[in-house]
Amino acid sequence: MAGNFRTGSGYDAHRFCEGRPLILCGVHIPYDRGLAGHSDADAPAHALTDALLGALALGDIGKLFPDTDDAFLNADSIQLLKKAFSLPAFREWEISNIDLTIVAQRPKISPFTAVMRKNIADALGLAVEQVSIKGKTTEGMGFCGRGEGLEAFASVLLEKRK
Ligand code: MG
């Protein structure tokens, strides 16, 4: 693969539902609803996995971990993220930095970003300073603003190992 750098972007959205825990970047967030999904529905972890896969043009999380496969029912998405990054294609690449944005009207994300950054950094063998996580609202606009769901955007830069 030509070049010393590769960049990837990822996106995911899940609908809020009753009776499930809210898990974001592997962190259990106290809230009265969780996110619907086949796995634990950790949208920022899914967006980040897609960003990593996208950087090396390896497809997406749905191709790697199909939601038709019962092996991934209620799966821990941090484990899926680690599994994706352990693909042989990543061996000659290291992550330079990650930038994640979580869009939710509620709950407030900022009290949890420190523990989320640590969780992502630990999962991928990075320093916390290489992982940025930001929470945003949409000032009440759209599906996030109405509290119907939550979305996440991720970007990642890979650098070829020396
Ligand atoms: Mg997803």
pLDDT in tens, the chain (162 residues): 668 999 999 999 999 999 999 999 999 999 999 999 999 999 999 999 999 999 999 999 999 988 888 888 888 999 999 999 999 999 999 999 999 999 999 999 999 999 999 999 999 999 999 999 999 999 999 999 999 999 999 999 999 998
For residue 129, which phi and psi values (nearest 5 degrees)? Answer: -65, -15
Give the Å distance between the CA of 66 and the centre of ligand 1.
Answer: 11
Spatial distance between the Cα atoms of 8 and 52, rounded to a whole number of angstroms? 6
Give the Å distance between the CA of 6 and the centre of ligand 1.
Answer: 23
Give the Å distance between the CA of 47 and the centre of ligand 1.
Answer: 7
Give the Å distance between the CA of 50 and the centre of ligand 1.
Answer: 10
Strand partners, 29: 22
Q: How far is CA 112 from the centre of its chain?
A: 15
The pTM (predicted TM-score) of the whole model is: 0.96
Degrees (nearest 5) of the Cα angle 112, 116, 122? 150
Q: Which of 15, 10, 74 is nearest to 46 (CA)?
A: 10
Give the Å distance between the CA of 12 and the centre of ligand 1.
Answer: 5
